[in-house]
Amino acid sequence: MYEFEYHQPKSLEEATKLFADADDPQFMAGGQTIIPVMKQRLAMPSDIIDLGKISDLQGISVDGGALTIGAMTHHNEVAGSDEVRKAIPALAELASHIGDPAVRNRGTIGGSIANNDPAADYPAALVALGATVQTTSREIAAEDFFTAMFETALDEGEMIVNVTFPAPEKAAYEKFPNPASRYATTGVFVAKTGESVRVAVTGAGACVFRQIDFEKALLGDFSPSALDGLTVSTDGLNSDLHASAEYRANLISVLAKRAVKHAG
Amino acid sequence: MEKYGIGQPVRRKEDVRFLTGTGTYIDDIKPDNLIHAVVLRSPHAHAKILDLDTSEAETMPGVLCIVTGKDWVAEDFQPMPTKSAVNKKIDGTPLNQPPRHAIAIDRVRYVGEPVALIVAETLVQAQDAAEVVEVDYEELEAVTDQIKALEPGAPQIWDDIEGNFCIDFELGDKEGTGKAFETADHVVKLKLRNQCVTAAPIETRGAIASYDKDTGKYFLQNATQNVHANRDTFASVLKIPSEDLHHMAPDVGGGFGAKNSGYPEPSLLLYAAKKTDRPIKWIGDRNESFAADTHGRDQATTVEMALDKDGMFLGLRTRTVGNIGAYCWTVGPFTPTGGSARTQGGPYYIPAMHYTGIAAFTNTMPLDPYRGAGRPEGSFQIERIVELAARELGMDPVELRRKNLMPADSLPRKTPMGLDVDTGNFPEVFERTLKMSDRAGFAKRFEESARKGLRRGFAIAPYLECTGGGPKEFAGVKFGKDGSATLRVGSMSTGMGQETSMPQILSDTLGIDFEKITYVQGDTDATPIGGGHGGSRNMEVGGSAVLQCAREVLVKAKQLAAHLLNSNADDMELKESVFTDVKTDQNVSMADVVAASFDQSRLPDGMEAGALDTDTIFEREIISCPNGCHSAEVEVDPETGTVQVEHMWIVDDFGTIINPMLADGQVMGGVAQGLGQALMEEIVYDEDSGQLVTGSLMDYALPRADSMPKMEMAFYEDAPTAKNPLGVKGSGEAGCCGAPPAIVNAVLDALKEDGVTHIEMPLTPEKVWRAIQDAKQQGA
C-alpha cells in the first residue's frame, strides 16, 4: 500500500469539498474492493474519503410501493431488514449471498454499484427491478447508470445517495458462483412488475445486460417452460479460466428458468 | 492417567492458543531493531537478465541492503542440493541436475524466481525501493507442459541439458508384464492426469534471520516443516558449518509438504542479516505463496491393465511423465519416479507390474512433495483403470474390486513393486466400508435425486499407500524436581496436534501427569537430529522414538523404585502412576521416584542426580503401509455440471491409533484436499507466456466448509504393524489417496447413462457439463 491521506467527513458537503481540494481523491464506501487493490499497490489515491460517517447515506425506508436503501447500507443490513424482506424478498436473498460474512459486514450497496464489477450481484437487481439511483446531483435510471465494465454514469466527484426500487409483483435471483471467488460466474435476476417483465444478467458479459428475448417470452407466459427452445448467443459473453462463453450462455438459460420458477 | 493414555481422544492442548489468537507464528515475532525485506521476483517465465541496476533503489529512504545474483557470484555461494533418493537414470548415468541458486544469476526460468532481496527499515520502504530496481530482461520462449517440453524443438530451459530431460526410472518386471498383456483376454488403457496443485497453507512462508558478530553465529526462525535438513542446506549454501546456524520453527500454520524444502529466501536473509547486522523479517504474501511455494502432482500418465476372461487382474503397466518445474528442488525428481512407483496397483493382487517414470523440466515453479507425493497419484491411476475395466467388461465395479483384492492370508507379501506389506486385511476393510455405505438405501436416494432432475452416483475406492521421510528420529526427556517433564522430539507438527499426542505416549508409558509435560519441537539446539514432518512419519518414527525413550526411562525408574523399596527391579509393576512390588505389595509413586532421582542420598550406586533424563534415537527399518477404503455418493446437476459430494464412508487401517480424534482430523483434512483436487483445484500457467493464471484465491478454487460431504469414519485396528514399537502405520496422507478416485468414479457412475466414461481432474462444473454435451452429441 502507498501512503495516502485519510478523511472521514460527517456530511455530503464536507465530502464534496474534500474531494475538490485533493490531488487524486478516491471515495471509499465499505472498502471491500479499493482496500485489496491498494494493498496490491494497483491504486495510489492521494486521499481516501471514507463515507461511513455520513448520516444522509444511511438507512432503509419504504414509501408506498417503493423501497429506498441508503448508499452506505451494508449487505447484511439489506439481507436482514424486515422492510426489504417484506417489499422485495429477492433483494434480501441476493444480499445474503454476496461474498462472505466479513464482506457483507463491510460492503455496501453504493460501493458495489459505483464499482460496477462485471461479476457483482446488485447491478442485476437494479436493472431488473427498474431501480433509480439518486446521486448528489440527479436521478439516474439503473439501465443508464451501468455504462461499461467498471464504469458508471457517475461524474467526477458525484456521489450516490440512495437507490429506490419499485416493489415487483414477483422476483427472484439465481446465481452460479465462481468456485474460487464466489462472485457471480453468471447471475440472473428476473422481475415481473405490472405489465413488464425484466431479465437482467450479470457476470456473463462486460457489464450487466437485459435478455430481451427472454423478457418477451415471459411477458405472455411467466413460467419456466416459456423459455424452452430459446438459445442464448455467445456474442459478447466472457470466456475465462472458469467458464467459456458457451457455458455462460447455457447458464443464462438454466438460471433464468430457475429464477422464474423460484419467483413463483 | 488413562484419560490421557494411548488410544484416548484427548483434546488438543495447543488449540487453546491457536483458537484464541495467542499462538506465536513467524509474523508474531518482533525482535528489537527489526528491519524488513521484500523479494523482487521474475515477472517472466523465461528470460535472460541483461542488466540489473539497483543504483536508484539504493538511494531510496530507509534502504539498507540489496542482494542480487552478483553478490552470490562474488561470494561464491553454493547451489542448493537435491536429495532425491532416485538419482540415476535407467542407463546408470546420474540425473541431470542443474545448479539451483538461491537467487537468479543471469537468467530466470519461472515466474516468481527471486531476482533481488531489498532490505529497508520498514516494509513500505522496501516495497518502494523494489519498484525502482531496474531489470533489463530479454524474454525467451517458455514451455510449461512436461509433454511439450520433451518434444523435439521445445524451448531449452538449460543450455547443457538436452530436451529438458531430468531422469527416467523403471521398476518391476518389464518382460513378465509384457507377457501378461500378450496372453490377456482383455486389455484396458487410459490416459489421465493428476493435475498441478498447491498446498495453500493458511500461514504463508516467512522467516526472521539474524547474525551475532560476537559469536559468529546465525539464528533463523522460519515457517518450515524441517529445521535440521534445511539448516544443513542453508549452511552449505553460505559455506558455514551447520553448528553456526541455529534454526527454529515457531508455531507453523500448515505445511502439507510445501514447507519441507530448503527454499531460497532464508539464505538471502541470513546473508543480508550479516551485512546489515540487524534482524531481518520476510513474510511472503498470498500471491508469493501461489507463485513461489513448491507445487505438487502434475503427472501425465498412461495406465494399462491386463485381465483374464473372469476379470482377474494379470498385469499393470504404468508410464508417467512428471513435471518438476525449472529446477530439481529438494526431492522433486523422486515423486514421479520412485515415489509414485512403490504403491502402484494399490491393494490388489496383480502378478506382473511394470512402472516407468520420467521427470521433465519446464518453466514453472518447481514441484516437491505435496501430501502423499506419488501415492495419491498411484491410487488415482489404479482406481480409474479398475473402474474403466468394470465398465468395459460389463462387470459390477464392486465385484471386480472384491475378487481382486489381496487376500488376508496372502500377507505378509512383497508386491511386484517391492513394497513390503506386512499386516492388514483389505477384504475386511472393503466389506466394512461397503456395509457402512447403506447400499440398500441407494435406490431410494437415486430416485429422490432423479425427481429433482439430478443424477446420483456411487463408487468405492480401496487404497494402499506407504510412509516416507527420514528413517531416524530423536526423542529426549528431561525431568523437573516437581515431577514435570520436558519432551523434545525431532519430528514436528505444523498444526496436526503432536503437542498433545506425543505427551500421550509419554504419559501412558510412564504414568506421569499429562498436564505436566512440556513439548518442544522444531529447534536444532533442542535435538541433535530431527526429520521434521513429511511422509506421514510423525507418529510412525517420532512417536516410536518417544515410546523408545519412555521405555528406557522406565527401566531406570524401576531400578530406582526397587532401590527405594529395597526390592528387585524385575518385581516392579507400574500402574496408575505407582510402582508396586508384586511380591511385597510395597509401593512408591512415580512422582516420588522422579523426586528421588534428584536427591543423591536416595540414589543407588551408579546413578547420578537427573538419572532419569534420557535421550534416544529410533530408526525405522522398513516403511509402513497405511491402507483403507473410501466410498462416496455424489449428486450431479446435469444442467450446470455442478457436483456435490453428499456422503463419504471411510475405514482406515492406520495400525495402532494414538488419538482417534486427531486421526479423524487427519482423515477429514486429507479428504478436503483430495476433494479439492478431484473437483476444483488446479495451478494453471498460460501456455504461451508461461504466466501464472491462478495466482490468487480469486482464481485458485479451494474447498470450503459447504463443499464437504457428511463423513462417517471408522478405524480397523486389528492389524498393527510390527515394523515399529507403537504399531502405527501413519495417517497424514491417506485422505488424499482415497478421496479423489472415490469422488471422480462416483461422478462417472452418476453419468454412466449419459455415456460419459472419463473426465480429467478437476471435475469443474463446465468440464462435467461439457462431457455430458459431448456424450450426447456422440450418442446422437
Q: Are B614 and B556 in contact (CB under 8 A)?
A: yes
B698: nearest CB among A41, A180, A244: A180
Q: Starting at the edge strand that comes first in sequence, how are the strands of the sheet with A209-210 ordered?
A: A170-177, A184-193, A196-202, A209-210
Domain end marker among A144, A166, A188 = A166
Which candidate in B766, B767, B768 is best for mutational testing of the A interface (most A CBs within 10 A)? B766
pLDDT, tens digit, for every residue of A161-190?
A: 999 999 999 999 999 999 999 999 999 999
B2 pLDDT band (50/70/90 cuts)?
low
Which candidate in A39, A181, A234, A247 is best for mutational testing of the B interface (most B CBs within 10 A)? A247
Grid cell at residue B46: 523465461
Query: By percentage, how much of chain B surpasses pLDDT 70?
Result: 100
Q: Considering only CA atoms, which of B302, B276, B80 is closest in space to residue B188? A: B302
Q: What chain A residue is nearest to B683 in terms of C-alpha separation?
A: A241
Does domain B295-468+623-779 match CATH 3.30.1390.10?
no
Task: Specify whether the backbone of B637 is left (phi greater than 0), alpha (psi in -120 to 50) or beta.
Answer: beta
Q: Which amino acid is at B618?
A: F
pLDDT at B31: 98
Total CB pairs under 8 A between chain A and B: 43
Q: Which fold has domain B2-21+469-619?
A: Aldehyde Oxidoreductase; domain 4 (3.30.365)
Q: How many domains does chain A have?
A: 3
B1 pLDDT band (50/70/90 cuts)?
very low
Are A158 and A181 contained in the same domain? no
pLDDT, tens digit, for every residue of B451-486?
A: 999 999 999 999 999 999 999 999 999 999 999 999
**Is residue B28 predicted with pLDDT exceeding 60?**
yes
Which residues are CB-contacts of B418 (< 8 A; sequence separation ≥ 6)?
B171, B342
Residue B124 touches partner A, C-beta closer than 8 Å = yes
3-state class (DSSP) for residue A204: coil
Query: B734 burial class (0-12, 13-18, 19+ CB within 10 angstroms)?
Result: buried
Residue B302 φ/ψ, nearest 5 degrees: -115, 125
What residue has cell string 431488473? A128
Please write down the HEC assignment for all residues of B644-700: EEEEEEEEEECECCCCHHHHHHHHHHHHHHHHHHHHCCCCCECCCCCCECCCCCCCC
Are A76 and A119 contained in the same domain? yes
Taking the mean position of all CA atoms in its chain, how far away is CA B603?
A: 46
Which residues from A are below 8 Å from B640, CB to CB? Answer: 176, 250-251, 254
Torsion of CA B386, B388, B391, B392, to 10 degrees: -110
Q: What's the rounded Cα separation, in Å, for the pair A71 and A58?
A: 7
CATH 3.30.365.10 in chain B, residue ranges? 2-21+469-619, 295-468+623-779
B 621-660 → A contacts, CB under 8 A: 639-640
Q: What chain B residue is nearest to A253 in terms of C-alpha separation?
A: B639
Q: Are A49 and A25 in contact (CB under 8 A)?
A: yes
DSSP structure class, residue A154? P
Are A71 and A151 contained in the same domain? yes
String of DSSP letters for B330-359: SSGGGIIIIIHHTTTTTTB--SEEEEEEEE
Are A111 and A36 contained in the same domain? no
pLDDT, tens digit, for every residue of B294-351?
A: 999 999 999 999 999 999 999 999 999 999 999 999 999 999 999 999 999 999 999 9
Which candidate in A181, A188, A262 is best for mutational testing of the B interface (most B CBs within 10 A)? A181
What residue has cell string 495510489? A44
3-state class (DSSP) for residue B434: helix
Q: Considering only CA atoms, which of A50, A31, A52, A34 is closest in space to residue A42? A: A34
Grid cell at residue B754: 449419459
pLDDT at A224: 98
A243: nearest CB among B684, B701, B766: B766
Task: Specify whether the backbone of B621 is left (phi greater than 0), alpha (psi in -120 to 50) or beta.
Answer: alpha
Q: Helices marked H in B331-480 — which ranges?
A: 340-341, 375-393, 397-404, 426-436, 442-451
pLDDT at A264: 87
**Is residue B488 predicted with pLDDT exceeding 90?**
yes
Are A74 and A110 contained in the same domain? yes
Query: B16 burial class (0-12, 13-18, 19+ CB within 10 angstroms)?
Result: exposed
Q: What's the rounded Cα separation, in Å, for the pair A144 and A160?
A: 14
pLDDT, tens digit, for every residue of B217-235?
A: 999 999 999 999 999 999 9
**Domain B31-140+202-254+259-292 class, CATH top level:** alpha beta
3-state class (DSSP) for residue B764: coil
Determine the distance in angstroms separating the CA of A250 from the nearest CA of chain B, rounded to an integer. Answer: 8
Cross-chain Cβ contact B697/A244 below 8 Å: no
**Is residue B780 predicted with pLDDT exceeding 80?**
no
pLDDT at B165: 98
The pLDDT of B527-548, averaged and rounded, is 96
Cα–Cα distance list, B547 to B6, B263, B470 (Å): 11, 33, 18
Are A67 and A159 contained in the same domain? yes
Cross-chain Cβ contact A179/B701 below 8 Å: yes
Determine the distance in angstroms separating the CA of A196 from the nearest CA of chain B, rounded to an integer. Answer: 28
pLDDT at B438: 97
B764: nearest CB among A2, A179, A254: A179
Domain end marker among A120, A150, A166 = A166
Domain end marker among A115, A131, A166 = A166
pLDDT at B608: 94
Residue B680 touches partner A, C-beta closer than 8 Å = yes
Are A177 and A230 contained in the same domain? yes
Mean pLDDT for all residues in chain B: 97
Cross-chain Cβ contact A247/B770 below 8 Å: yes
Sign of CA dihedral B310, B311, B313, B316: positive
Grid cell at residue A221: 407466459
B693: nearest CB among A179, A181, A241: A241
pLDDT at B34: 98
Query: By percentage, how much of chain A surpasses pLDDT 70?
Result: 100
Cross-chain Cβ contact A176/B765 below 8 Å: yes
Are A230 and A205 contained in the same domain? yes
pLDDT, tens digit, for every residue of B39-68?
A: 999 999 999 999 999 999 999 999 999 999
**Is residue A158 predicted with pLDDT exceeding 70?**
yes
**Is residue B239 predicted with pLDDT exceeding 50?**
yes
Q: What chain A residue is nearest to B707 in terms of C-alpha separation?
A: A179
DSSP structure class, residue B415? -
Query: A195 burial class (0-12, 13-18, 19+ CB within 10 angstroms)?
Result: exposed
Determine the distance in angstroms separating the CA of B125 from the nearest CA of chain A, rounded to an integer. Answer: 10
Cross-chain Cβ contact A1/B124 below 8 Å: yes
Are A61 and A157 contained in the same domain? yes
Cross-chain Cβ contact A254/B639 below 8 Å: yes
Query: A90 burial class (0-12, 13-18, 19+ CB within 10 angstroms)?
Result: buried
Q: Containing domain of residue A174, as a range?
A: 170-263
Cross-chain Cβ contact B693/A41 below 8 Å: no
B769: nearest CB among A3, A179, A247: A247
CATH 3.90.1170.50 in chain B, residue ranges? 31-140+202-254+259-292
Write the ipTM.
Answer: 0.97
